[in-house]
């Protein structure tokens, strides 16, 4: 789209809370059109890194460039232009609780493009709801009437409201049942391919890493210690990486990926569509 090879470029990032240094000398590149998974133990600052990149957390040192403009020394005016080009899905969905799902999707549209008429805006909100794998009835529901999985999909619909180039996802599959999580993975992958997105994805879910991530960045010791495909990471002998991918869960996820790949080769037509991603287990009881 914009022809920028590295939509996100982080150099020498340092984040400090009081005496506690979260990041020091952290470098990270996200390439155009890839899904980058970010992993790390609890408390290693994955969310802080995301908050720094989207400008919610002002770092102590370092530079961050997103889509070619600097976040670290951006003034407000410049910032706004970039903000319309990314979408963010927070962990709990962070929907506005007094608005319906569709009204939530409309908020960014109203904010950035007031010249869009009511009718078109409603249409956009409606198809985004379906595109995120929600049933049509969810359009007019309030967040409190939705299950956790549906709330995440609604959050995704809002994140995609402006057709962003960059999508930030903070633990999208956390708290979902395995069926719902797998469906959400497929939804992200499909949307990424359809909409040509670059995705920055924080996760603990090994299945997600194996299924949809092109590369994985590992945060430990206050910086990104490695960034590459899973086979590349497995070739390193860092103890945390080995434990992470070769622990019982890591091996199970790898086995599952191989099973899926075999099944896919045998039945190549089985490609999930965005609108059948709604898992039955996700409806609120």
Partner 1 sequence: MRALADFTITPEGETGGATLAFTGPMTVASLGPIDARLRAVEDNVAQIDLSGVDRIDTVGAWIVWRTADRTGARILNGTSEADRLIAAISKADDNRVPITADRLPLLSRVPARVGETMIGLGQGSLEVLGFLGQFMQAIWTLLRRPTTFRGKALVHQMELVGVNALGIIALMSFLVGIVIAQQGAVQLRQFGAEIYTVNLVGRLTLRELGILMTAIMVAGRSGSAFAAQLGTMKLTEEVDAMRTIGVSPMEALVIPRIVATMVMMPLLGVYSAAIGIIGGAFLSSLTLGIPFFTFLARIQEVVPLHDVWVGLIKGPVFGLIVAVAGCYQGLQVRNNAEEVGTRTTAAVVMAIFMVIVLDAFFAVFFTEIGWG
Using CB under 8 A, list all residues that contact partner 1. Answer: 1, 84, 97-98, 100, 102-103, 106, 109, 112-113, 115-117, 119-120, 122-131, 136-137, 139-144, 160, 162-163, 194-196, 273-275
**Assigned token pair, 133:** 């794998």
Nearer to partner 1, 14 or 122 (CB): 122
> What distance in Å separates the CA atoms of residue 20 and residue 222, rounded to the nearest whole number?
11
Residue 159 in tokens: 């994140």
* Least distance (Å) between residue 139 CB and partner 1: 4
**Minimum distance, C-beta of residue 165 to partner 1, in the bound complex (Å):** 10
Give whichever of 22 and 125 is closer to partner 1, judged by the CB atom.
Answer: 125
CB of 55 to partner 1, least distance (A): 20
C-alpha–C-alpha distance, residues 235 and 228, integer Å: 10
Which one, 27 or 273, has the nearer CB to partner 1?
A: 273
The smaller minimum CB distance to partner 1, of residues 18 and 117, is found at 117
If the CB atoms of residues 122 and 238 are measured against partner 1, the closer one turns out to be 122
Compute the C-alpha angle 9/105/123, nearest 5°: 120
Q: What is the token pair recorded at 249? A: 């869960």
Q: Which pair of structure tokens corresponds to residue 91?
A: 């962990």
Query: In angstroms, what is the minimal distance from the CB of 86 to partner 1?
Result: 13
- We find the least distance from the C-beta atom of residue 162 to partner 1, in angstroms, to be 6
Exposed, middle or buried: residue 166 (CB in 10 Å: 0-12, 13-18, 19+)? Answer: buried
- CA 125, CA 139: separation in Å to the nearest integer? 8
């Amino acid at each position: 789209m914009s022809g920028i090879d590295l939509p996100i470029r982080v150099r020498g990032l340092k984040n400090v809370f009081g005496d506690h240094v979260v990041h020091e000398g952290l470098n990270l590149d996200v390439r155009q059109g890839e899904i980058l998974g970010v992993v790390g133990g609890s408390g290693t600052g994955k969310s802080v890194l995301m908050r720094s990149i989207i400008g919610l957390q002002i770092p102590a040192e370092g530079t961050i460039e997103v889509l070619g403009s600097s976040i670290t020394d951006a003034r407000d005016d410049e910032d706004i232009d970039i903000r319309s080009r990314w979408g963010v899905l927070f962990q709990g969905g962070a929907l506005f609780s007094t608005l319906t799902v569709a009204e939530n999707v409309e908020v960014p549209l109203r904010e950035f493009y007031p010249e869009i008429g009511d009718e078109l805006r409603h249409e956009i909100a409606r198809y985004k709801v379906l595109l995120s794998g929600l049933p049509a009835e969810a359009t007019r529901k309030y967040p409190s009437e939705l299950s956790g999985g549906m709330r995440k999909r609604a959050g995704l619909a809002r994140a995609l409201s402006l057709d962003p180039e960059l999508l930030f996802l903070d633990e999208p599959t956390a708290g979902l049942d395995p069926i719902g999580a797998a469906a959400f993975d497929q939804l992200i992958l499909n949307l990424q391919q359809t909409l040509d997105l670059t995705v920055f994805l924080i996760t603990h879910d090994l299945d997600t890493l194996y299924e949809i991530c092109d590369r994985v960045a590992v945060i430990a010791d206050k910086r990104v210690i490695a960034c590459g495909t899973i086979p590349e990471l497995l070739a390193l002998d860092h103890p945390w990486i080995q434990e992470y991918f070769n622990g019982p869960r890591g091996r199970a996820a790898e086995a599952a990926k191989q099973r899926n790949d075999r099944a896919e080769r045998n039945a190549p037509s089985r490609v999930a569509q965005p609108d059948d991603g709604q898992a039955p287990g996700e409806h609120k009881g």
